[in-house]
A and B are shown apart, each in its own frame.
Chain A
């Protein structure tokens, strides 16, 4: 197994852990110390350049610092689908939570999210999102986790959402 194969495996991990952080990659590649970190960046740089021809790129989740594989922007725009494997129901509840978080100064409650979602029951959706590790529910309050960065570009969403509101309301 060569270094690129190891990186491919680590960066495409899905489930509880998405992608990998620097420490995990260094450990699996047998790299140590500052010099090892530089070697890792050099490898990631080379890997990222080489997978470009397949429409893929290496991205870093700014919320938890994990590196992962995603599609190039032009390819993403061509096939914009939600990363919940087409499950629009969960995607919509997820967006409701995000909007609730933007609107509230404090952590939004399940009731507030339900109002935005305009559905009688969102328990199942919240459970699914919790299983995906995207939210944590405590005492009826819903908190987004760092994993959100793997599913949505939060900054871009805020900018687009603001523009949309200014244009339409």
Chain B
């Protein structure tokens, strides 16, 4: 059964979470960091009825595992702080002053402190589409695989050319040494069943190769009086 967009997104989301889970399990990713791809993946995930319940359970299961890892990591971080060292720290008279620089403060933005002019500028800029600058890509031709196409002779076409020469020779010897081009195309098509266009192309090749000779002028060709003769 063909999968819907929602199902595919759910599969992608499930895969991402399993990756995160495995990375945490293998120590490649810090469980205390926020899930960066979570919102992006969730943003694409349209909860509709065409997603499989089992897959949704799978996603939930992965999320629970990740949550479990996060709680365990937080607990282990908390308990890894030595109580003796904390006591030594607390005994220090200037303990608080000494840690001022390591405090990771979060500053919420206070728009009231910003000027109206600046805010108006922000809002105008936000409504503008941001265009990505073209990136410069340098091709490494030493690593690039170049495909060569070798045009080999179409054996079938050559065989058809030979067969047509043979056929024209016999026709011309039966009738006369000269025939109208329309007549000969019709006759050859009837006998060889190659299609009029292909026969015409082969005749052009034969004329070019000098096997056939076209007599008459361009004006006559229009009036369908051109004749071919085997040279």
Task: Please give the residue numbers on chain A whose beta carbons come within 8 Å of chain B beta carbons, in ascending order.
Answer: 2, 4-5, 8-9, 11-12, 14, 18-19, 34-35, 38, 41-42, 44-45, 47, 49-51, 53-54, 56, 59, 62, 68-71, 76, 80-83, 91-92, 95-96, 99, 102-103, 115-118, 149-153, 155-162, 164-166, 168-169
Q: Residue B43 contacts which of A42, A115, A155 (CB distance < 8 angstroms)? A: A42
Question: Does B86 sit at the interface, judged by CB under 8 A?
Answer: yes
Q: How far is the CB of A4 from chain B (nearest CB, A)?
A: 5
Note all chain A residues with C-beta closer than 8 A to B80: 162
Note all chain A residues with C-beta closer than 8 A to B126: 4, 47, 50-51
Q: Mark B84-111, 1 if CB is under 8 A from A, else 0.
A: 0110111011011011011111111111
Give the total of B residues in contact with A, Cβ under 8 Å.
46
Of the listed stretches B18-26, B32-40, B154-162, B167-175, chain A binds: B32-40
Q: Residue B127 contacts which of A4, A45, A71, A152 (CB distance < 8 angstroms)? A: A4
Interface pair A54/B82, CB less than 8 Å apart: no
Q: Mark B41-74, 1 if CB is under 8 A from A, else 0.
A: 0110111000000000000000000000000001
Note all chain B residues with C-beta closer than 8 A to A159: 32, 77
Across the A-B interface, the 6 shortest Cβ-Cβ residue pairs: A69-B109, A169-B88, A156-B104, A165-B85, A12-B111, A153-B104
A155/B74 contact (C-beta < 8 A), A38-B43, A95-B99, A161-B99 known: yes
A151/B106 contact (C-beta < 8 A), A50-B130, A95-B96, A165-B89 known: yes
Question: Does B152 sit at the interface, judged by CB under 8 A?
Answer: no
Question: Does B122 sit at the interface, judged by CB under 8 A?
Answer: yes
Note all chain B residues with C-beta closer than 8 A to A56: 109
Interface pair A83/B106, CB less than 8 Å apart: yes
Main secondary structure of the interface of A (DSSP, over half): helix
Question: Does B137 sit at the interface, judged by CB under 8 A?
Answer: no
Question: Does B78 sit at the interface, judged by CB under 8 A?
Answer: yes
Interface pair A8/B105, CB less than 8 Å apart: no
Q: Residue B102 contacts which of A59, A82, A161 (CB distance < 8 angstroms)? A: A161
Q: How far is the CB of A159 from chain B (nearest CB, A)?
A: 7
Known A-B contacts: A80-B105, A152-B103. Give 11 more (CB < 8 A). Answer: A11-B109, A41-B43, A76-B107, A82-B105, A159-B77, A160-B104, A162-B77, A165-B81, A166-B82, A169-B88, A169-B89
Note all chain A residues with C-beta closer than 8 A to B110: 12, 14
Q: How far is the CB of A46 from chain B (nearest CB, A)?
A: 9
Note all chain B residues with C-beta closer than 8 A to A169: 85, 88-89, 92
Task: Please give the residue numbers on chain B whose beta carbons come within 8 Å of chain A beta carbons, in ascending order.
Answer: 32, 34, 39-40, 42-43, 45-47, 74, 77-78, 80-83, 85-86, 88-90, 92-93, 95-96, 98-99, 101-112, 119, 122-123, 125-127, 130
Most central of A34, A45, A165 by chain B CB within 10 Å: A165
Interface pair B108/A150, CB less than 8 Å apart: yes
Note all chain A residues with C-beta closer than 8 A to B96: 92, 95-96, 116-118
Interface pair B81/A81, CB less than 8 Å apart: no
Note all chain A residues with C-beta closer than 8 A to B127: 2, 4
Interface pair A165/B109, CB less than 8 Å apart: no
Q: How far is the CB of A90 from chain B (nearest CB, A)?
A: 12
Expressed in whole angstroms, the Cα–Cα distance for A18 and B111 within the complex equals 12
Which residue on B lies nearest to A154, using beta carbons?
A: B104
Interface pair A41/B88, CB less than 8 Å apart: no
Interface pair A82/B103, CB less than 8 Å apart: yes
29 contacts across the A-B interface (CB closer than 8 A): A2-B123, A4-B123, A5-B123, A8-B111, A11-B109, A12-B110, A12-B111, A19-B108, A34-B46, A38-B43, A41-B39, A59-B106, A62-B34, A70-B108, A81-B105, A95-B99, A149-B106, A151-B105, A152-B105, A153-B104, A155-B32, A157-B102, A157-B104, A160-B104, A161-B81, A161-B99, A165-B86, A166-B85, A169-B89
